Amino acid sequence: MSSLKGKSVLVTGATGSFGQEFLRQLLHANEVEQITVFSRDELKQFEMRAEFSSPKIKYLLGDVRDYKRVLQATVDVDIVIHAAAMKQIPAAEQNPMEAIKTNILGAENIVNAAIANKVRKVVALSTDKAANPANLYGATKLCSDKLMIAGNYLSDGTETAFSVVRYGNVLGSRGSVIPFFKEKALAGKIPITDVRMTRFWLTLTQGVNLVMRAIDSMYGGEIYVPKIPSFKVTDVARIVAPGIPTYEIGIRPGEKLHEVMITEDDSFFTKEFDHFYTILAPNLIETKAYEEKGKKVAEGFTYRSDTNPLWFTDETFTALLKQISLI
């Protein structure tokens, strides 16, 4: 984390699972000068103070929907990690304008405030559901990604750079399927939407590491996609709750059988590296910043959870869950 030495970092949605893990690692590295927790839930901030009481942390209540407050919060900030979002798919479907206000208009506020206050770098968290979106949540996150990448044009001539990290299901995060499976196992049966369903899986630590990689290497205009393993949802249930039968309930509206993180159309602009891919914005192609970096993927390449060459085995998935104390 040497690139953060002496820097002021603001994290939106910092009371969430990612934000807390990110803060934990920042404090452990002890490189940053100041960390600003920016979120709208005063109870969660109160609870966080009990664990994170470092004098380096400043707690600010505010909503990314409120441009004036975002503008105030980003004064003298070097790096913004934008993790705030409305993430629950059913809630977004039933309250579409609320999702749009938070995920899209909130992202616009971050872009404009960062440029106005000359923030050096902005890294926004995205989701596999933003690629070929099948629900409103995914569609709003795709719009958010586009706004962030376009921020590099709006900031032309300034020092502000914007990039995105996109990844799959986070083990141990709030809303993760694992606590749900454990709860249903107590009733004697676990509902599965479709036995063929696959997903990408990673840990909170891996998510934080990807963000740090982006901060270290970004020019502005990249969408970073990690190489992470796939696993069938039925296999997750079997390992989390061994011996508990499952029953199929069918795919719900807005749900995908398999997730996609890089589409066929993205393949024309995607470079492969040892541990990740980057989808490049036009500005990076025009400036040839990546001409000598990485390996261009083949035309028609897709990165899908069902055709992913990297898969968990029962043993590796079990070991990972034990490592992060989920079983």
Active site (catalytic) residues:
129
Question: 164: exposed, middle or buried (C-beta count within 10 Å: 0-12, 13-18, 19+)?
Answer: buried
Q: Where are the alpha helices (DSSP H) in 17-105?
A: 17-29, 42-51, 67-73, 89-94, 96-99
CB 233 within 8 A of CB 184: no
Q: Cα(36)–Cα(52) distance, rounded to whole angstroms?
A: 12
Mention every residue, 6+ apart, whose C-beta is less than 8 A from residue 21: 204, 205, 207, 208
- Could you say which DSSP state residue 103 is in? I
In 10 A of CB 92, how many CB atoms? 24
Strands 295-296, 270-272: pairing kind: antiparallel
Strands 79-82, 121-125: pairing kind: parallel
Give phi and psi for 126, each to the nearest 5: -120, -160
User: Residues of 141-156 as b/e, b for ≥16 C-beta within 10 angstroms?
Assistant: bbbbbebbbbbbeebe
CB 140 within 8 A of CB 93: no
Q: Cα(141)–Cα(92) distance, rounded to whole angstroms?
A: 11
| Token representation of residue 174 | 């709030």
Distance of alpha carbon 285 from the chain centroid: 24
Question: 299: exposed, middle or buried (C-beta count within 10 Å: 0-12, 13-18, 19+)?
Answer: exposed
